[in-house]
Structure 1
Amino acid sequence: MSNVSPQIFKMANLAAGSLASLSALSQMSYLFSNFPAFLMALYALGLSIPIVYLEFRVPPNLYRFASFYFSFIGRGVCLILLSLLLSFGGALKIFLSLLLFIGGVAYTIVEFVPSVQEPDNFRPEGSSIAVGEDADDII
C-alpha cells in the first residue's frame, strides 16, 4: 500500500493548476508587446485548467483525448511544459516556473516508485481498480 496520502496529490494538483492558470492570465497582458508570449499563455491556460477541474470531476471523454492527465509521468511532463511556457516576465514568474518544473520532475519520479498508488481521479470513468483480476468477478 501507499504511504503517501491522496490529499497530498490533490493539494499539489490544485496548487500547480491554479498558480499556472493565474500566471497564464497575467502573461496575457503581453498581447501587444510580445505576441508569441501571449500565444504561449493561451496554450498554458488550456493545459492548466483541466488540472484543477480534474480534482473535482472527471469528464467522460477526457481520457480518450488527453490520457496524459491520468498518469504521473504524463502530469509531470505537462507541468514541465507549463513551466517552459510560463517562464516570461519578472522574478516572481521565473520562481513560479521553477516550482512547476520541480513539481513536474517530482511527478515523473513518482511514476517509477512502486509503493505510491495513483489517486482515484487518475482512473478513467468506469475502469476497475482491480489489478490482474477480471472485473466481472467482483461483486
Structure 2
Amino acid sequence: MVLGGVANFFPLGIQSIIIGCYCIIFGIATGLLEFQIPPQVARYASFMFSFIGRGVFYLFIGCVMIGAKWYHIAPGVITAVIGIAYIALEFVPSIEPPANMRDADAGWGAEQLGVIQVEEARIRISINALKRLYKYLYDDMD
C-alpha cells in the first residue's frame, strides 16, 4: 500500500497527492496493526479484525490505487487480490484468524449487548422494588 501511495504521486497533481497520502497513511497504519493494536483501533475500526472486513478494506484501497500507468496498476491489483483472498478466507471454516486479529477488544458484540440488557433488567427490577418499598413505608404512615 505504501509503495502504491508513493506511485500515486506521479504525475504530480492535487488529486494524485491526496490519494497518495491516503494510501501511504493507511498502508503504514495497516502495517503497524501487525505489531501492536491500540484500543482505539478495536473500537473505531473493528472491521480490521475479521477476514471479510480486512478484505473489503484492502479491496477498496486497491481500487483507489489503480490508475492508467503500470506503476499504478501493479500495486492496486496486488492489494485488491490480497483483499479478495481475505474475503475468501472468511468462508473457509478450517482457517482460524491470526493472533493479531483475535487479540482485539470484543467491542460491542452480541454478548456485550446481552449483558447490558440483563443489567438493565436488573436495574428495572431494583427500581420497581424500591417503588414498592417506598409505597409500603409511606402508605403505612398515613
TM-score, structure 1 length as denominator? 0.67
- Identical amino acids, percent of aligned pairs: 30
> Structure 2, unaligned stretches of length 5 or more?
112-142
Deviation, 1:126, is 5.5
Mapped partners of 1:54, 1:35: distance in 2: 29
Q: CA offsets per residue over residues 14-47 of structure 1, 9 Å max, x none?
A: xxxxxx11221232344xx432222122222232
Deviation, 1:106, is 0.9
Amino acid across the alignment from 1:50? A
Paired residues for 1:67-106 under 5 Å: 67-88=46-67, 90-106=69-85
* Alignment match of 1:112 (pick from 88, 91, 98): 91
- Tell me the residue number matched to 1:17: none
- Does residue 18 of structure 2 align to residue 39 of structure 1? yes
TM-score, structure 2 length as denominator? 0.66
SS at match of 1:110: helix
Mapped partners of 1:45, 1:66: distance in 2: 17
Deviation, 1:83, is 0.9
Aligned residues: 107
Cα distance, 1:111–1:79 mapped onto 2, change above 3 Å: same
Runs of 4+ aligned residues of structure 1 deviating over 3 Å after TM superposition are 124-127
Amino acid across the alignment from 2:71? L
Mapped partners of 2:85, 2:104: distance in 1: 26
> Structure 1, unaligned stretches of length 5 or more?
1-19, 133-139
Cα distance, 1:107–1:123 mapped onto 2, change above 3 Å: same
